[in-house]
Amino acid sequence: MTSQEWKEKGNFITINNRTVFVVDEGNHEETLVILHGYPTSSYDYYKVLPELVKHYRVIIHDHIGFGFSDKPLNYSYSLIEQADVTIQLWRHLQLKKVTLLAHDYGTSVATEIIARHNKELIDIEIGQLILCNGSMHIELAKLRTIQKLLKNKITGKWVGKLANQFIFNRNIRKIYFDKSKVTQQELDEMWFQINNNNGRSVIHLLSNYINERYFFWHRWIGALKETTIPTSIIWATHDPIAVKAIAMQLSKEIPNNKLYWLENSGHFPMLENPKNWSSSVLQSQNKIN
């Protein structure tokens, strides 16, 4: 699927004076909301959306700074603010109860939302939580060199300016288990969306989320330890960044959880092994046997 075809699936909604790209498909009573990862977009789910919409109304938006959403220069790009936008979007769509699925960067937006949910600060019920390959336990993550450079206040801006598609392609391929599973077209479409709306000018600002994972560690990990929401942890076994140890630690801490392993998959299992990833998600929610 091309970026243009994906764009045609969605709509643009104004939230807090910012334009947010949203894909909203399916007509089931149950709603699955998805928070995507870094540095990509909602496009990560183009292969699995047809299966998911057989069981859910599925809503995926591009975070501010990603994909087809606004990428302003005068913006905090804090995960706190991304959570604000997410909650306001759900309210705009008049959602009352959701299953929340998050991957990578999206898992930290999710933990901020869970922190508010625990304290009854939001009026949307989260019936189920699904966490997929995110470095919430940042102290256990194996960050790539480019991630370390981008999050640095001194080097980040220059690395962002010097980044090119060759470097991007190489770094994405490295975090797949089976390098042959990522196609050149997918890489081209991902890179196009990163560049959309002058996106490379803000990519170093987006990377500050890694620093926030340290700063808000007690708030966000604490929220997972306190939550009563039934949680599924669906984890690719060969992710070189969000390693297995993170999933194992989460499984020890979250009160009501079940851990599912996805064998022979890297950091983007919904793209690398879409059938297995979809099956794991749906099985964890008792949607299929």
Which CATH number is 256's domain given?
A: 3.40.50.1820
Is residue 80 included in any domain, yes or no? yes
Is residue 40 included in any domain, yes or no? yes
Tell me, what's the pLDDT at 1? 92
Tell me, what's the pLDDT at 256? 95
Is residue 120 included in any domain, yes or no? yes
Tell me, what's the pLDDT at 287? 84
pLDDT digits (tens, 9 = 90+) for 223-248: 999 999 999 999 999 999 999 999 99
Is residue 36 included in any domain, yes or no? yes
pLDDT tens, N- to C-terminus, the chain (289 residues): 999 999 999 999 999 999 999 999 999 999 999 999 999 999 999 999 999 999 999 999 999 999 999 999 999 999 999 999 999 999 999 999 999 999 999 999 999 999 999 999 999 999 999 999 999 999 999 876 655 655 555 555 545 565 788 888 998 999 999 999 999 999 999 999 999 999 988 988 998 899 999 999 999 999 999 999 999 999 999 999 999 999 999 999 999 999 999 999 999 999 999 999 999 999 999 987 6
User: Which residue(s) pair with 131 in the sheet?
Assistant: 102, 233
Is residue 189 included in any domain, yes or no? yes
The amino acid occupying position 265 is S
**106: left (phi > 0), else alpha (psi -120 to 50), else beta?**
alpha
Is residue 169 included in any domain, yes or no? yes
Q: Give Rg (Cα) of the chain.
A: 17
Is residue 225 included in any domain, yes or no? yes
Report residue 181 CA to chain centroid gap.
Answer: 20
3-class DSSP assignment, residue 167: helix
Residue 237's domain comprises: 3-284
pLDDT digits (tens, 9 = 90+) for 157-210: 545 565 788 888 998 999 999 999 999 999 999 999 999 999 988 988 998 899
Tell me, what's the pLDDT at 167? 86
Report the number of distinct structural domains present in the chain: 1
The two counts, helices (H) then strands (E), for the chain are 14, 8
Question: What's this model's pTM, rounded to 2 decimal places?
Answer: 0.94
Instruction: Find the angle CA(160)-CA(161)-CA(167) to the nearest 5 degrees.
Output: 65
Tell me, what's the pLDDT at 163? 72
User: Which has the closest alpha carbon to 231: 110, 124, 141?
Assistant: 110
Euclidean distance between the first and the last CA atom of the chain, given in angstroms as a whole number: 29
Is residue 31 included in any domain, yes or no? yes
Its sign, for the CA torsion 183, 288, 134, 81, is positive
Q: How far apart are CA 218 and CA 235, in angstroms?
A: 23
